[in-house]
Amino acid sequence: MSDQLGLKKATADFRNAFSHRFSPRVSTGITNFARREINPETGKIWYGIGGTAPLDLDELVALLAGELDKCYLAFAAFQALVEAQLVYVRAENIRALEALAAPD
């Protein structure tokens, strides 16, 4: 989870901002002249004045490459889970069919 928080902080919460307000620019421009901050210790919210600098494209690409690697790992784990489920279901189907075919 801390990786997600690191990405969120490094991208100035781009994902949420893109959907709900003005997201930071990439490489050029300044946005968010008023910004909302949450104190991590108290949870209190405060608003500040000052722009958000644009995201550096090279840093952004490096961050997203790391996220892509995590996606591949998660998908590989999902594929292994599905394969394990298929093996189990096939074995159970064979067992059930054999039980039905057995004479009483």
The tens digit of pLDDT for each residue in 1-10 reads 456 667 777 7
- Residue 23 — φ and ψ, nearest 5°? -80, 155
- In angstroms, the Cα distances linking 26 to 62, 63, 75, 77, 95 are 14, 14, 29, 33, 58
Residue type, 81: L
∠68-25-39 over CA atoms, to 5°?
Answer: 80
* Model pTM score: 0.51
Q: 75 versus 51: which is more confidently predicted?
A: 75
Q: What is the Cβ-side half-sphere exposure of residue 100, based on CA atoms within 13 angstroms?
A: 6
**pLDDT value of residue 36:** 77
Between CA 50 and CA 31 the distance in angstroms is 9
57-91 tens-digit pLDDT? 888 888 889 899 999 999 999 999 999 999 999 99
* pLDDT band per the 50, 70, 90 thresholds, residue 103: confident
Q: 70 versus 25: which is more confidently predicted?
A: 70
DSSP calls for 48-82: EE-PBPPBPHHHHHHHHHHHHHHHHHHHHHHHHHH
- For residues 17 and 45, is the Cβ–Cβ distance under 8 A? no
